[in-house]
Structure 1
Amino acid sequence: MRNAGLGGWPARRAQMSPGRTAFVFADRRVTYAEAHERTTRLASRLREAGVRAGDRVAYLGPNHIAFAETMFATHVLGGIFVPLNFRLTAPEIAYMLADSGSSVLVYAPECAEVAHALPELPALRTIVALESPAPGERDFESWLAQGDSTPIDTPVALNDIALILYTSGTTGRPKGAMLSHANLVWNCFNIMIGVDVTSTEVTLISAPLFHVAALNQTLLPTFLKGGSSVIMPSWDVDLCYDLIEKHGVTWMFGVTAMFAAFSRSPRWAGADLASLRTLMSGGAAVPVALIRVYQERGLVFCQGYGLTETAPGATFLEAGESVRKAGSAGVPVFFANVRVVRPDLTLTAVGEPGEVLVQGPNVTPGYWRDPEATAAALIDGGWLHSGDIATVDEEGHLHIVDRVKDMFISGGENVYPAEVEAVLFEHPGVAEAAVVGVPDQKWGEVGRAFVVPREGAAVTPGDLRDFLGPRLAKYKIPVYFDLVEGLPRTGSGKIRKPDLRSRPLPPGATPPP
């Protein structure tokens, strides 16, 4: 087989384990043999639509088996897959389609309104709908079924680009991070070393697949090992409990908000979670108090750290260290190097905050058609600037402090919002919290906390201030507290802090005496 990339995986898996279940979605199961045949038929249709090596194929929609089929079919031809955030507006999606030059768009019915609002894009020649195609569009199932099942073997090298993943775009225009097939393969090696993924794995895909962690940290390693991926359309606490019990889920990934909501469910105390071997989180620092909630249930909760640009794993805390080093993001993954440095790029001392740099075969070759951004992110030796602040302890474990851009300076002192948020989370009446810096005439900047109270809890700003008083230095304690029903999030579940910073203070708001 000349395809050394992901496009060869369905054929290889079908040969090794044809009858094993590859995907579960609602009441539908797809074996590896079926996945191979469907991927091949779809690839033949994409080829008829003009897709060749290096061409881009985009997917817009919630989690679905068709996402994986479209991705693998694109890779069969040596094309580049472009997963899009289905929560974005038509102008945002149009920008990504135009920037990537995608020639094919596959979209789900939930995104029909956005798809039909797109302007005319010169490169976009074929539009495929999973359901109810509009005039001029293809129907996914019938189009695929009429494809040719004859095997396709296109030469693809490991260093060829496999994915363009657009960043969240919390500031300015999103950038398209390129990931090669080699980046994805090495990341799979790293996660399989850290988690001990097995061929009997039943993995719950509960985070959005357009997000690098759900795709590369769970679905791809599971497929590579021949396990089963149970795909949730979108995050739902009750459905998560149902699927764990029904399918005997062994492994799942989630962000902090997902695990917090799961543990707050009335079903938490009585649920049968015995099948779960590993819970894994990343994307942002996880409060230790939340990790302990899971560990007290006897569950293995592992935290990792990474970025879209590192495919994504950069560090990982293995199961054996998950209790003793709870709150740590672990040590560098097996096939990567990580440094924490000062602005002059010298190594920090133990416990000294600095920026995280990452180097290795999992690191992006750069940003799509953006040499300036690539040059700014990657320095000599292929080291990637992460923009994240961390400390390293005496055992070499990373502790993520915060994003460089989220830190603020109050009265000459650095304040890291993630530290304040973690302490707020320990309050029994707090479900979620986000802290940002806001201008202040006296101190330059002070903290403003947006707090989501737990259901039924009576929480006041005074209560929160009193709670933080003995736990944090005075300059770290927010001056303003906003009690809110929810927090704005990106499609990957991260809190949109620029949105919070831009919110005006309530009329008459003054600092407490």
Structure 2
Amino acid sequence: MLTLRDEGLGSWLHRRARTRADRPAWSGAGEPPVTYAEAARRCDRVAHGLARRGIRPGDRVAYLGPNHPSFLEALFATAAAGAVFVPLNTRLTVPELRHQLDDSGATLLVVAPGQDAGGLETGTVTVDDLDDGVDAGPPGLPITHADPAVILYTSGTTGAPKGAVLTHGNLTWNALDVLLDVDVRADERALVYTPLFHSAALGMVTLPVLLRGGHVALQPSFDAATVLRRVTDERITLMFGVPATYDAVAALPEFDAADLSSLRTLLCGGAPVPVATIRTWQDRGLVFLQGYGMTEASPGVLLLDAEHATRKAGSAGVPHFFTDVRVRTPDGADARPGERGEVLVRAPHLMDGYWGRPDATTEAIEEGGWFRSGDVACVDDDGYVRIVDRLKDMYVSGGENVYPAEVESAVHDFPGVADCAVVGVADERWGEVGRVVVVPAARARIDPDELVAFLRGRLAGYKVPRSVVFADHLPRTPSGKLRKNEIAATHGGRGEQSGDPGT
């Protein structure tokens, strides 16, 4: 029996291969699955290849590429080598990528097959370059749960991205939370199409499924038709997505007739989830679980359990098993039921800090280990938490706080709305008023006056946007969050209803 000194992610494949050696661990799109035993041997060889390249414990190894088996091979090999894995966002520009490479101090860049790394000075290799084909067993380093495993860069919607340092213990505790609260099974076939460089795809699906011994089926990028086809053809059981991807799949003409009987669990997060999105999938008899998390928490914080998924639809749920959450008012007290406050999080899966940013770490994590999320929420009488909005997105109209996410949820209920965003714009009388930017569905015609009248029947007067504009699309981060700064810059300022309401 193999004795392992490694407590971290680098040992997971060997530990799981003890009972599921011949079961599939992962597969790429259109590729045969790799078993746990094969994956363990491959990652051992790549870990030794990293050492031959001069990588030592604590060094940073970056990765650039779409969802592909080489991502997971590089992740587990880097962990086994005692180094720190830094996955990069493939949608960034070369200067943005270079900033993250420089900021993390990465000395090696691993790229996916066919990935262009032009303009990046860091030494570049593929996983195949690191594998000499000689099985030498695991490196055998004494890695502990306290050692850093991954640096994940935040989305950077409010400034330069910061690198959240997640330890082996952080990622393990988060995976345990998911196993306990989502009921992940050993026979899972999880489709992962959201980017692995995003914490939800990695922490809420991939790592928990591999820890449990299931099969992770990777897809390089999102395509609604491909997702639906793979769900039916490959009998997918588990899937994570953001609201926009679920809406796109449900909008397909073939959705209503598709055989979705294999799906046991659908996880959704990354952005406020419109109730209409939840209902669409629940109407198919599926378990649709809304959650809330953040990169700094590896990422799970709240989850709406299956038993209450319908009755509490629209809520983000209750804290994960090993997670503590407070909703704190500006005066420092815990919010009463229905009262709004900032979400604070304390958990064993909370990050070690921001890489090279002790100032930002101190600002974000208070005494006692509470992390300030910057998100506004309220709690109902049963302890279920509803995320209202980001503090930075709130605007004040006539002395009243307006949270755009609440307004956006109401706009989504209007027929013909495919996507929307609400921003505050200057107003001489009220200080600020709302403007809603609407993306009409295909062939939909939306009358601005009718939309405003619809909202007046559902929202207090001060919450109803004073103007409606139209757009072909709305910019979002890879995790599905609206880029409010860009939207405000493009559609901000004062003005009346404008734009083409669709064709």
Provide the C-alpha distance between the structure 1 equivalents of 2:132 and 2:67, rounded to a whole number of angstroms: 21
Tell whether the 8 Å contact from 1:251 to 1:277 is kept in structure 2 after alignment: yes
Say if 2:204 is the partner of 1:217: yes
Unaligned runs of 5+ in 2: 499-503
Q: For this pair of structures, how many residues does the alignment match?
A: 494
- Counterpart amino acid of residue 102 in structure 1: A
Provide the rounded CA distance (Å) in 1 between the counterparts of 2:158 and 2:252.
34
Alignment of 1:114-193 (within 5 A): 115-118=117-120, 120=121, 124=122, 126-129=123-126, 140-146=127-133, 148-193=135-180
Query: Quick check: 1:435 aligned with 2:406?
Result: no
Cα 1:160–1:143 shift into 2, 3 Å: closer
C-alpha contact 1:488 1:499 (8 A) present in aligned 2: yes
* 1:499 alignment partner in structure 2: 486
Q: Tell me, in whole angstroms, the C-alpha distance in 2 between the residues paired with 1:110 and 1:410.
A: 51
Question: How far 1:143 moved relative to its partner?
Answer: 3.8
Please give the per-residue CA displacement for 1:37-56, whole angstroms capped at 9, x wherever unaligned.
Answer: 11111111111011111111
Which residue of structure 1 aligns with residue 37 of structure 2?
33
Alignment match, 1:410:
397
Tell which deviates more after alignment, 280-289 or 213-222.
280-289
In structure 1, the residue matched to 2:78 is: 74
Q: 1:505 to 1:377 in 2, by over 3 A?
A: closer
The amino acid that maps onto 2:376 is: I
The alpha-carbon deviation at position 505 of structure 1 amounts to 5.0
Q: TM-score, normalised by structure 2?
A: 0.96
- For residue 10 of structure 2, the aligned residue among 3, 7, 25 is 7
CA drift at 1:486: 0.7
Alpha carbons of structure 1 residues 156 and 168: separation in structure 2 relative to 1, 3 Å = same
Secondary structure of the residue aligned to 2:263 is coil
Where 1:15 maps in the other structure, the secondary structure is: helix
1:435 aligns to what SS in structure 2?
Answer: strand
| 2:19 is aligned with 1:16 | yes
Q: In the alignment, is the contact (CA less than 8 A) between 2:469 and 2:497 conserved in 1?
A: no
Residue 86 of structure 1 aligns with which residue? 90
1:256 corresponds to: 243
Match of 1:46 among 43, 50, 59: 50
Pairing of 1:358-437 with structure 2 (within 5 A): 358-437=345-424
CA distance in 2, matches of 1:318, 1:294: 15
- 8 Å CA contact retained: 1:55, 1:103: yes
- In structure 1, how many angstroms separate the alpha carbons of the residues matched to 2:383 and 2:139? 46
TM-score normalised according to structure 1 size: 0.94
Question: Do the aligned residues in 1 keep the contact of 2:396 with 2:402 (CA within 8 Å)?
Answer: yes
**How far is 1:289 from its partner?**
1.6
2:137 & 2:382 partners in 1: Cα distance?
54
Residue 281, structure 1, aligned to residue 268, structure 2: yes
Amino acid at match of 2:12: W
Q: Does 1:105 align with 2:109?
A: yes
Contact 1:82/1:164 (CA < 8 Å) preserved in 2? yes
Which digits, 9 at most, give the CA deviation of each residue in 1:486-511, with x for residues without a partner? 111112221111001112558x9337
Contact 1:45 1:147 in 2 (8 A): no
> Aligned pair in 2 of structure 1 residues 370, 475: CA closer, same or farther (>3 Å)?
same
Contact in 1 for aligned 2:271/2:480 (Cα 8 Å): no
**Aligned twin of 1:326:** 313
Secondary structure at the counterpart of residue 379 of structure 1: coil
Distance 1:424 1:211 in 2: 28
Aligned partners of 1:86 and 1:111 also within 8 Å: no
Secondary structure at the aligned position of 2:278 is classed as: helix
User: Residue deviations 1:47-93, cap 9 Å, x none?
Assistant: 10111111111111111111010000000011111011100000000
User: 1 CA distance for matches of 2:367 and 2:138?
Assistant: 42
Tell me whether 1:304 sits opposite 2:296 in the alignment: no
SS of residue in 1 equivalent to 2:285: coil
Contact 1:44 / 1:147 at 8 angstroms: preserved in 2? Answer: no
Q: Which residue of 1 aligns with 2:496?
A: 510
Q: Cα–Cα, structure 1 residues 158 and 205, in superposed 2: closer, same or farther, change >3 Å?
A: same
User: Which residue does the alignment assign to 2:447?
Assistant: 460
Check whether the contact 1:42–1:147 (CA below 8 A) recurs between aligned residues.
Answer: no
